[in-house]
Structures are given as C-alpha cells and as structure tokens.
Structure 1
Amino acid sequence: MRFIFKTDYDQDIRILKHGGYWWSYGVLLALLIAAPFLVGSYLQSQMVFVFIYATVGVALMILTGFTGQASLGHAAFLAIGAYTAGYMQSVGVPFVVYFPLAAILTAVIGALVGFPALRLHGIYLVIATIAFAFIVEEILARWESVTNGNEGMRVRTLDLLGLSMPRGDESFYYLCLLVLVGSILLALNLLRSPTGRAFVAIRDSETAAKSMGIDLAAYKVKSFAISAGITGLAGVLFAHMMTFISPEMFTLLLSIEFIMVIIIGGAFGVHGAVFGAIFIVMVDPFLTALKDDVPVLAANLAASAGAARDTADALREWLHGVGSAAGLKGAIYGLIIMMFILFEPYGLYGRWLKIKLFFQLFPLYKRATFKRQKTYVKSERNR
C-alpha cells in the first residue's frame, strides 16, 4: 500500500509524482526504443499507426476532454496537414520547413472554425464540425491544381536534413514516437498551466467559468487552434506513412475512429489517447482475420458435424458475404461505442486505474470507490 503526502503546490502539479512513475515510464520508453529490433516489420508499422492515432487522440483530448467541445471534423485537420506536406514536398520545400508550417496552417484554420462554433453547443457543434469536414473533403476533390483531385497525390520518402526516412525504417518509427511524446508532454504541461485550467473550467461549467472572468470565446478558439495544430503534425506523418493520399481517405468514418480513441481509451486523461489508439489500430487486423477465418472455420465445423458439402460451402459463402457487407465496420464501431458508454464510461484507462487502485488499497478496497455519481443536465446545474 502506497501513501503519498503532498506538502507543497509544486509537488501537486509535478508530472512524475513519485519514484514509481520514473522507473515505470522509463522501462516503457526503453521497450519502445528497442521495439524495432524485437518485432517484425508488420508489427512495427502497426505501432507507427498507434503513434499517429495517439497523437490525434491527444489533440482531440485537449479539445473534447479538457475543454468539453465535441468535434467530428478532425479527419479534415489531418487531411490539411497531409496535403500541406504533399504539396510542399512537390515544390521542393524541405521537411524542416513544411512540418511546422503544416501545424501553423492547420492551427489557423482550426481557429477560424472555432469562431463560428462559439455559440454552438452539443449536437449543433458536432453538426458544424461535420459540415466543415465535408467542405474540406469537397475542396480536396475539386482543387485539382494543388491536390490532384480524386486522382490523389503521391508523397515521397521523408528526407530530414539529408537523412532518408522510409516508412518502414527505424528512423521514421523514432520520429513518430518523438512527436507523440512531445504532444503528450505539451498536453500535460498545458493542463497544469492557467490556460489548461481555464479549459477545464469551461468544460465543467461555462457559467461558473465566465463568472470567474474567463474569456470563453478566446479560450474556445485557442483550444480549437491547439488541437488542430497537433492534428496537422500527425497529418504530415500520416501522409509519409501512407505514401499516397486522396480525399476518400479522410471521411467521416475516420473522424468517428478518432472520437472512438478517446471514448474507448478514456476522455479524462492523456493516457486514454494511447490506450484508445492501441485498441482502434489493433481492431482492424482482428476484424479482417475474423472476416477471412470465421467462414472457413464454420464450414469445417459444419462438415465435421455431418453436414453436406454443399451446405458447408453455402454457409461459408453466406458468412463471407456478411463479413464483406458495406457498412459492417461502421456498425461494429457503433456497437463498441455503445458498449463502452453503457458499461465502461471511463474507458480503458479508467479500468486500469480501478485495477491499480485495487492492488494499492488491498485489502481495504471498497467497491463503491468508483460508484458513478448522479449527473445533471446544464439547466439543473445552473439553478
């Protein structure tokens, strides 16, 4: 059992609060650094996607988890970062220039999106961000002189100061890991700053935040800009990872995947972005294997149970057709979101905290420690 006694304010806002954080995160970082030499190329590429998705998750955490502003338009911000990288590379601009430029451009556009969304809340803000995503997708398809339209754009291998970084190379892996670690440190330090505390105050109660002198409009726009800028950085890495980008890659489904990252991982901590990214990236290979293997397994079981060969083949074809049905992936994602909201609203990170607290307090742990409190709608909170 561990007891931590806080004696000053600096200790309370410290990122690594005790020695256990130092060695646990140190071991994790050492394993991530050694991973390219311990795993195969396929698993390494999946880890790169985890880093990119987790970076977007951190950005969305700042906007949704910290400030309470919902968004289904982050696929558009990712597209802006990706196309900025592709276009700048095609005209000969080096990576050290277009990488920060993509973040700045995306942040400016994010701020512009934040202004008309100031008077919108809840479902209306979600609809506004969806409309923004559709507008960006249409611009990418129509502005052929810059984006090549629906034909897509080829993105060459990343070149950093003369060092080539192919997408399957260890150097590109470490670059994505560095961007993720930097984004996490930025988010943690932002949360400890007056700006981050203003974000949290706006999330908890806009009325209370306004009564304390917080400029709601300025901080909401700032939250949109910071979140969009980090997503733009992830978009540059995404473009170099895919080596080819087209408007069809940045659809509403991708924005839903980003929302799933923080819902499944947990929207109240930066750790949730990493947990959610791991889940989302790894669920795709699982669904693919399920679609390919389950029909064959079911047909073999039917044949071994004495069913006719024609019946077993018909069952396999039917199951394969169900697995290949349009919209099945979105339906499964929707079911996963519903299950987490109903049965695990704190996400995977919340479940990890419960398990950790159980061992920390054992045998004094109480089941009511994480009992869900009564929630109020805004009209009731403001009475």
Structure 2
Amino acid sequence: MRFFFKTDYNQDINLTRDKVDRFWYGLLLFVLLAAPFVLEDFWLGEISYVFILSIVGIGLMLLTGYTGQVSLGHAAFLGIGAYTHAVLLHHGAPFIIAITAATLLSAFIGMVIGSRVLKLTGLYLAIVTLAFAFIIEHVLVKWESVTGGFKGFSVDRPEYFGIAITEDVPFYYLTFFCLVLAVLAALNLLRSPTGRAFIAIRDSEIAAQSMGVNLARYKTTAFAVSAGFTGFGGALFAHKIGYLAPDAFNILLSIQLLLMVVVGGLGSIHGAIFGAAFVGALPQLIAIGRDYLPETIARQPGLEPGLFGIILVFFILFEPYGIYGRWLKVKLYFSLFPMYKKATFKKQKSYTKSERNR
C-alpha cells in the first residue's frame, strides 16, 4: 500500500504526483516512441487515429468535463479545422502556417458561438450546438468554390526533406508530438486561475459568481479553447482521411465525440485519452464481430450508431465515472485490500444552500 502525503503547496500544481508517476509516464513515452520499430503500418495508422481523437477529446473535455457545458456540435469545429488547413495547403501555405490558422479560426468561431449562448445550459445548449453543426455542414455543401460541395477534394501531402509527413511512420510521430503538446497545454491551463474558474463554473455557477468568477468571460473562453483544440485535431484529421467531404462531419461524429468523453470519464484528461482509444477501437471490433453475427443482423446499416447509443446508456447507468473511474476503483481496491468497502464510491446527493430550491 502506497500513501501520498502533500508537504508543499507546489505539489498542487505539479504535472505529475511523484517519482512513481514520472517513471510510468516515462516508460509509456518510451514504448510509444519505439512502437514504429515493432508494429506494422496498419497498427501505426490506427494508433495515429487514436492520437487525433485524443486531441479532439481533450478539447471537448475542457468544455464538457471541466466547464459543464454540453456540446453536440464539435464535429463542426473539426470540419472547420480540417477544411481551413486543407484549403490553405492547396493554396501553397506552409504546413505550420496552415495548422496554426486552422486552430485560430476554429477558436475564433468557438468564441463567437460561446458569447451567444451564455444563458443556455443543459439540453438547450446541446440543441443550439447541434443546430450550429447542421449549419456548418450546410455551408460545406453549398460553398462549392472553396469546399468542392458534395464532391469534396483531396488533401495535399506536404513534404519536407523529401519525406511526406503523411506517410505512416512520420505521421505517427507528428500526431504523437501534437498529442503531447495538447496534453501539456491542457494540464497547464487547468492548473491556472482560468482552469480553476472552469471547474468552479461546472460545480456551481452561483457559488462561482459569488466568488468573483466572471461567468460570461470564462464560458466564452472555454468555448474558444475547446474549439481551438478541436480545430487543431481537425487539421490532422484531414491528413488521416486524405479526402474531405461534408458527410464526414455529420451528427454521428458529434455523438461519437460526446460518447468518447463520457465513456472515458468526465473531468479527466486521462478519460479523454481512454475514451479516444475506446471509440477508435470500437469500429474495428464491430467489423470483426459482424463475421460472427447472423447475416440479417450483420447487414443492418444502423448497427454501429445503435451500438454507440447502447454503450453510452449502459455507461451512464452503471459506470458514470467512465473507464478512468473504473481504473481508479481497481487501483483503490488493490491498495486497500482486504479493507476495501463497497460504499467507497457510492454517490451521495448533496446540494448547496443556494441550489436546493431549483
């Protein structure tokens, strides 16, 4: 059994908890860096896709998991980032300029949307963001001079020193570096006053406002930052799929992104990454499972969305803390065995005095 004691105020803002955590994270980084030497190109492509989903999941986690603002429109921000990046590359912009512009434009549009929906929460906010996703999808279809409409267009393959960065191994390292950058940026944001304000708004808007938190400012900031992360991931996503078309950024993708953070574990960067691994692997598992299902079931066109919905419902009912929450329970069980109590994670109903009459 290992106990952790805080003896310094700086421990609250450290990126890692102690030397043991630093060892395991270092080992994980070493394994991921060495993966191209032992894995085939197919698996490198799948892991790269998980890295991209993780970046997008971190963006949505900052908004939904840490600020408490539900969004069903993040496929729109993903599309904005992907199309902006691809169009700029097509017109000769360098890769760094294109991906930066895609991130900034997505963040700006997120800021505009966030400033317009300040008074909305819960279901109403989800409906507005869903409508925004439909609007962006319609724009991508009708703006044929830029997006190519339904026909779409192929994404350019930039080369540096004679090496195409979209090849399997270079693209793996590119997405891995971008994920590490996104994780460090999110962790530093969360341990700043801005991140603490996000969490305060999530826990209780009334209490946060009474402590001097500017709700309008920080909600708008949360939307902008979340959209920026998503647009950043969208630029990489454009290279992953190789060909952009409006139907790649539909409502099903928004639902998958929301499923990703809920299943992974709300309120945790680990949860965003675990959820990305789950959502990235699930289509492959469904494809394998079709071979063992009766033909009448395996040929159903709505099998994948239906399974996504069922999984989401089961996680909400039986494991609301997600995959990361289950991992914490497993670790605690072995740490406290045989003194572990079943009621350790029992959810208690508690209300602040200002919210009891809502």
- Pairwise mapping of residues 45-64 of structure 1 onto structure 2 (< 5 A)? 45-64=45-64
For the pair 1:294 / 2:292, whether they are aligned, the reply is yes
- Tell me the TM-score normalized by structure 2: 0.96
SS in 2 for 1:213: coil
State the match for 1:2 in structure 2: 2
CA distance in 1, matches of 2:161, 2:103: 19
State the match for 2:342 in structure 1: 367
Mean CA deviation greater in 63-72 or 156-165 = 156-165
How many residues were matched structurally?
358
For the pair 1:334 / 2:297, whether they are aligned, the reply is no
State the match for 1:27 in structure 2: 27
CA distance in 2, matches of 1:202, 1:158: 42
Q: Which runs of 5+ in 2 are unaligned?
A: none
Cα pair 1:86 1:153 within 8 Å, conserved:
no
- Pairwise mapping of residues 88-127 of structure 1 onto structure 2 (< 5 A)? 88-127=88-127
CA distance in 1, matches of 2:353, 2:180: 35
How far did 1:322 drift?
2.3
CA RMSD across the alignment: 1.6
CA distance in 2, matches of 1:288, 1:377: 47
Cα pair 1:94 1:159 within 8 Å, conserved:
no
Mean CA deviation greater in 280-289 or 322-331 = 322-331
Structure 1 residues 73-125: Cα deviation after superposition (integer angstroms, max 9, x where no partner): 11000000100111101111110111111100000000011011111111000
SS in 1 for 2:159: strand
State the match for 1:187 in structure 2: 186
CA distance in 2, matches of 1:276, 1:183: 16
State the match for 1:214 in structure 2: 213
Mean CA deviation greater in 94-103 or 154-163 = 154-163
Cα pair 1:67 1:220 within 8 Å, conserved:
yes
CA distance in 2, matches of 1:15, 1:237: 26
State the match for 1:244 in structure 2: 243
Q: What is the aligned-residue identity percentage?
A: 50
State the match for 1:357 in structure 2: 332
Letter in 2 for 1:294: Y
Given the superposition, is the C-alpha separation of residues 324 and 370 from structure 1 closer, same or farther in structure 2, using an over 3 Å criterion?
A: same
How far did 1:366 drift?
2.0
State the match for 2:79 in structure 1: 79
State the match for 1:320 in structure 2: 295
Mean CA deviation greater in 324-333 or 214-223 = 324-333
CA distance in 1, matches of 2:190, 2:161: 33
CA distance in 2, matches of 1:338, 1:41: 34
**Radius of gyration: which is bigger?**
1
- Tell me the TM-score normalized by structure 1: 0.90
How far did 1:330 drift?
1.2
- Pairwise mapping of residues 194-205 of structure 1 onto structure 2 (< 5 A)? 194-205=193-204
CA distance in 1, matches of 2:117, 2:236: 28
CA distance in 1, matches of 2:149, 2:121: 33
Letter in 2 for 1:29: L
Cα pair 1:183 1:230 within 8 Å, conserved:
yes
CA distance in 2, matches of 1:379, 1:335: 36
How far did 1:364 drift?
2.8
